[in-house]
Amino acid sequence: MGYNLAMKELKIIDDHEFLLGINRAIAEGRHVDQLKERLEEYADYRQVLDPFFSRLHNPSNQIFTFLVTFDYSKVVTRTIEIHGKQTFNQFAKEIISSMGWYNDHMHGFSLKNVPGKTPHEVHRFSWYAPYWEQDPYPTIFTDRVRIYYFDWITHPEIGFTFDYGDDHHFNIKLIGARVPTSFEKQTMFPRLVSHKGRAIAQYPGINERTGEVKNIYKNYFD
């Protein structure tokens, strides 16, 4: 399938059982057309995302600074620093925490654009929270990819979604990278550097009669 060497060395997708099972079924003549379509979708997923993850894209011992912007009618931003050796899963937890929300739903990071793909198709090229099982083929999990693996040079902005029911969308933009100071340790990251705007409540109360939100900034159980 032409997967690049960097991706193979990282071993961030465990697809052995998937490929073994699907090829066995095809050889036995079961659901051949449908399974071949799944293999093509998986190959496309890997072909697009593979080049973005490599140990060679960035120095590992760097602090990356991101501007995280919530997709909302009012300005809600968070500036977050994270160590390059930390994972996208840790980054996701910091984003969620910075909004004052509970980390009780799935999350995913996604590319903003892919040449030759429609905006709807681009959302397929995402890497998800551990134990994500919504796709018919293996996907990259956020706890298996470190921040420094990603090619931020060619893709300095990516998307982030939390809670695929309520669909809280964010834009993430790399705004800086630096070498840690002598007193900074990896355990001090990720950390919230600054924030602007008030986050909405994760579970606002709803008026049962009108269906309207009672207070967008207050959880129903507060």
Q: Domain residue spans in the chain? A: 5-52, 63-196
Quick one: 63-196 is in which CATH superfamily?
MM3350-like (3.10.290.30)
pLDDT by residue for the chain (222 residues), tens only, comes to 444 545 456 788 888 888 999 999 999 988 889 999 999 999 999 999 999 999 999 999 999 999 999 999 999 999 999 999 999 999 999 999 999 999 999 999 999 988 888 888 888 899 999 988 777 899 999 999 999 999 999 999 999 999 999 999 999 999 999 999 999 999 999 999 999 999 999 999 888 888 899 899 999 887
Q: Which residues contact 83 (CB under 8 A, 6 or more apart)?
A: 62, 63, 64, 147, 180, 186, 189, 190
